[in-house]
Amino acid sequence: QCLLSGSWRSNTGCRMVVSVLGKDGSFSGSYLPGPAAGNSEILTSPLEGSQQDVELVPQPTFSFTVHWRLQARTTAFLGQCYVGTNGEETLHALWLLREATDSPAEDWKATR
Encode the chain (112 residues) as per-residue pLDDT tens digits.
788 889 999 988 889 999 888 989 999 999 998 775 555 556 789 999 999 988 888 899 999 999 988 788 999 999 999 999 998 999 999 999 999 999 999 999 999 8
Using CB atoms within 10 Å of the CB of residue 88, give its burial: 0 to 12 exposed, 13 to 18 middle, 19+ buried: exposed
Domains belonging to the chain, first-starting first, are: 6-106 (2.40.128.30)
So what's the pLDDT on residue 40? 54
User: What pTM was computed for the model?
Assistant: 0.85
